[in-house]
Structure 1
Amino acid sequence: MLTFLLWLLLLVIAPPVALVALLLYPLVWLILLPFRIVGIAVDGVLRLVWAVVTLPARILTRRW
């Protein structure tokens, strides 16, 4: 909602810039999409490595 309000403010102040931003937004989103996918994959791998590294400590400190 805040993004939309900022865009409306930009539309009032500088309409050509707001229209260019509106047209370029999907292109920028498509360009940044692979970086988001890689970030999700790297986060998953790091969480898996952390779980494997801390598994012995969690097993040894477990109370029955």
Structure 2
Amino acid sequence: MKLLLVFLAWCILFVLCWPLAVLALMAWPLLWLLSLPLRLVGITLGGVFALLTALVQLPARLLGWRPAAAVAR
């Protein structure tokens, strides 16, 4: 659905101002390449925070504590 809305917005932009729409179409791959390092940083930070959470909860888990979601199953 999101892709369809983006395509519809691009079509409207193409009708209203085609040079800007063509520029946006050409700039999209460049912006995607520039965002890749930021995505990698986000994935890395997510992993680091998951590791820190696991390390902080390790003593309690060794003593038998389980998260509420695991108890409800």
TM band (smaller chain): 0.7 to 0.9
1:35 to 20, 30, 38: 38
Q: Which runs of 5+ in 1 are unaligned?
A: none
Q: 4+ runs of 1 displaced by more than 6 Å?
A: none
- TM-score normalized by structure 2? 0.76
**Count of residues in Structure 1 that have an aligned counterpart in Structure 2:** 63
Q: Which runs of 5+ in 2 are unaligned?
A: 67-73
RMSD: 1.5
Match of 2:18 in 1: 15
- TM-score normalized by structure 1? 0.85
Tell me: higher relative CO, structure 1 or 2? Use CA pairs within 8 A at least 6 residues apart: 1
